[in-house]
Structure formats: structure tokens, C-alpha cells
Amino acid sequence: MQKYDLLIVGGGMVGLSLALAVRKLTDLTVAIVEPHQPTELSDEAELRVSAINAASEQFLNNLGVWSAISQQRLQPYSHMHVWDKANIGALDFDINQLSDARNRENLGYIIENKVIRNALWQQAEANNGISLLTKEPLQNIAMGDHEVFASFASQMPVMAKLVVGADGANSWLRQQLDMAMAFRDYDNHALVATVDCQLGHQDTAWQVFLPEGPLAFLPLYNTNQCSIVWSTSPQEAERLQQLDVSEVSKALTAASDGKLGQVTLASDLQSYPLTMRLAHKFTKGRAVLIGDAAHTIHPLAGQGVNLGLQDAASLAQLISEHYHRDNGSQASANGPDSVNRAWHSDKMLNQYNRWRRAEALEMVTAMEAIKQSFTPQIAPIKLLRGLGMGLINHIPAVKQQMIKQAMGLSGDLPEISQ
């Protein structure tokens, strides 16, 4: 039997970042179960991208992977333009509007998911304390009072003191442990694609609220291309996918009010359903959930990946605090409080659950409020909404707070992300 301190199920961005953070802060041994290994980047932009805010950038920088990411493909953006198709309301955000910009030149970055994951994977491969178990997925998990036992179909089983589910929205670990979830079907699908923009993206993240849902144009490393995320009804998503390239391009150009010039579809138009998920509790026994395994939110503000990365940073910090407190106490081995001091203790897990579930619930609530405020309504409400956006656009203090929230510079941040 292979023995490790920490077992992570899922080697995506969040699981890999947790492994590297734990290794940076402690000398605990980590195993990651991930049968789907990274592949080479193609010449064309990947369809799945993430908006990485300042807090997540700092976290990735502290893990030693930011330089590898920045040497590949990424696009900073220093402006955001948000408007309502139903009226004249609009919001403009610029890094220069933030009084405490901390010497930053941009609001964030748009980065292909594969770029981030590949950099994290390479760093994990080079770390002697991290084992990448890539041959096959787990087949069974059993929970003891102090250990977790995980088995495969053919290879040697694994034992660890704590198991972490970082295996996405349809988490195998969460299902195996029957961890309860709150669900809400947004009754929306997200269409994703790469588009060519006649006027270029102008280092700006664009978002228009249409009657069916928001459409975002996210700037890519190619100055003439954007990645789109178009939230709409399942019926409209199906209709759009059946159109030819020229018809979809016309629809995108019209939806964007020509702000990017003529918009032309440059890739496949893929679709996936949008669902809010929130685990009733992020821990159970010797198991803990992070990232999409614990929560999924509407993509309209681009905060899903950032929320997951901060889960990883927060869990690593708490593990480190308890680990060093435990090891620094001469009574830790046999003292009456040793169980609560241990890095994998119920006390640590309860702290993580309170911290991160509160952050996730706040984000879920905020996304729901934004979504509802732009749901088609009667004319007087639409007018008030437009006037409200216009008013906010001229109140610097309110805009500064909104910019800080978008950059991840507000709230209870773990130290490794500061």
C-alpha cells in the first residue's frame, strides 16, 4: 500500500495549485489522482479560458508558476465595459480609477485554462514530494477514523490522512461520500467560441446584458480575437448552433452593437448547461471539497476559477498553521489537545468549511442578484436599471469598491494570495 499525507482527487488547476501550496508551506507528502494528463497547446486559442484576478495572480506567483504562464499565452486587460442592451445604462471600469492600484497596470488577465494547468503540472512533476498517479481513476474510497483508504482497479491502493475532492462539478468523490448539494438550474446554456473582431479587443473585457442573458467578449493574446461566453436559453443555444458561420457572426455583431466592429466566428460554437451548485458542507469525515466540487456559480462575472483557487490557498494555509503548531509543541504527540492541533483535525476542517462556504455563499448570492437585476422586466424597471447604472458610473467610491471586488482585493484573503 502506498502511503501519503494528503490525497487529492483531480489534477486540474485547483487540485494542482493545492498540492503546490501545501508543499510550499509544509513538507507533507501529496498524491494526485488524475488519469487525464495535459496535452500540448495548439496554434489556435483554446475555447475554455479563465479571467484571473489580482489575488489569483499573486497566489500563482507565490507558487512559482506565474513566470511559466506569462511566457506562454495570456492577455491582460485594463478596462471593462458593461452595458444593457435594453436601455442606455452602461458601466466603465479602468485600472486608473483605483486609487490604491498597488502599482498594477491591469484589472486582470484572460488565460486559456490549458496554459495554467500545463504550468502547474510541470511544477508538480518537478516536486519530489508530489506523486502524480495517472494510470487509472480511483474505484473505491473508504473512510476510517484517522485515515482514508483509496483503491484502484489494478494498481496498488493508497492510504492518506486526508482526501480532497478537486474533481470538478460532477465530483466522483462527492458522490461516493454522498455529500449533499443544493442545486439550481439557471435554465441557461453557455455558448463558448473564439471570434475575430474587426476593431480588436482594445485590452478591454466587454459584456452586454441581452434579454436572454449576458454575452461576454474576453480579450485573447491575439489582439484581434476574443473568447465569447454567451449565456442564453437552451432553445436559443440550440438554434444558434444550427446556424451557419455567417449567420452567427451577424448575430454577434448585432448583439455587441458594433463596439468591436464586425465580429466573425473563428471556431466551433460549443454549449454546456449552467447550474448553481453549493455543497451543504464542504467537509465530511476525512474528506474536504474544493473548487467546482464544492460550488459552481454563473459565469457572468468570471469568478468561478478565482473562487476555487482561493479554496486551495485557504486550505493550504490552514493545513500549514495546524501542521507547524502541532510540530512546534512538545506535547503534541501525547497531549490532550493533540487531536485538535493536528493538521488534518476536525478543528482545521471546520475552520475551512466556515471560511470557504461563507465566501462561496456570498458569491452565489451576488451572482444571483446581478442575474435577477438584468432579467427582462417591465419598462419602468428597465428605465430605473439604466438610470442606476448611469449613476453608479459617476460615483468613484462605489466604482472603486466594485473594481476591488472584481480584482479579488476585498474579503478574507489567505496570506499566500496577498
Tens digit of each residue's pLDDT (9 = 90 or more) over 132-159: 999 999 999 999 988 999 999 999 999 9
- Give me the phi and psi of 213, to 5 degrees please: 150, 175
Q: Which helix (H) or strand (E) holds 166?
A: none
- Which residue has cell 473585457? 205
Instruction: For 334-381, give the secondary structure using H, E and C.
Output: CCCCHHHHCCCCHHHHHHHHHHHHHHHHHHHHHHHHHHHHCCCCCHHH
Average pLDDT score over residue span 179-183 = 94
> What's the pLDDT score for residue 331?
42
Cell (9 digits) for 150: 483509496
- For the segment 155-174, the average pLDDT, to the nearest whole number, is 97
Looking at every residue in the chain, the average pLDDT score rounds to 89
Give the CA distances from residue 169 to residues 10, 17, 172, in Å, rounded to whole numbers and listed in that order: 11, 17, 9
In Å, what is the CA distance from 14 to each residue of 9, 11, 50, 294, 315?
Answer: 11, 7, 12, 12, 11
Mean pLDDT score, 380-407: 63
Query: What is the pLDDT at residue 376?
Result: 57
pLDDT for the residue 99: 65
Cβ contact 193:43 at 8 Å: no
Least confident of 57-61, 116-120, 143-147, 353-357: 143-147
pLDDT band at residue 338, thresholds of 50, 70 and 90? low
User: Strands, DSSP E only, in 298-366?
Assistant: none
| Per-residue model confidence as pLDDT tens digits over 344-364 | 999 999 999 999 999 999 888
What average pLDDT does range 183-203 have in this prediction?
A: 93
Q: How is residue 258 written as a grid cell? A: 458594433
How far is Cα 343 from Cα 356, in angstroms, rounded to an integer?
17
Backbone angles phi, psi at 4, to 5 degrees: -135, 165
Grid coordinates representing 404 are: 476591488
Is pLDDT of 333 > 60? no
Give dist(CA 35, CA 123) in Å, integer.
17
CA gap 205, 80 in Å, rounded: 5
Q: Within 13 Å and on the Cβ side, how many CA atoms surround 371?
A: 20
CA 416 to chain centroid, in Å, comes to 17
Residue 246, H or E segment: helix 245-255
pLDDT for the residue 391: 62
- Residues sharing a CB contact under 8 Å with residue 339, sequence separation 6 or more, in sequence order: 345, 346
Walk me through the domains of the chain, giving residue ranges and CATH numbers.
2-182+275-417 (3.50.50.60)
Mean pLDDT of 270-281: 94
C-alpha cell recorded at residue 340: 485538535
pLDDT at 408: 76
Mean pLDDT computed over 46-67: 95
Please say whether the beta carbons of 85 and 140 come within 8 A.
Answer: no
Residue 373: what pLDDT?
Answer: 58
Cell numbers standing for residue 244: 451557419
Q: What is the pLDDT of residue 372?
A: 60
Give the 3-state secondary structure of residue 276: strand
Neighbours of 162 (CB within 10 A): 26
Which of the four pLDDT bands, split at 50, 70 and 90, describes residue 365? confident
Q: How confident is the model at residue 401 (pLDDT cuts 50, 70, 90)?
A: confident
CA neighbor of 161 nearest in space, from 328, 325, 336, 319: 319
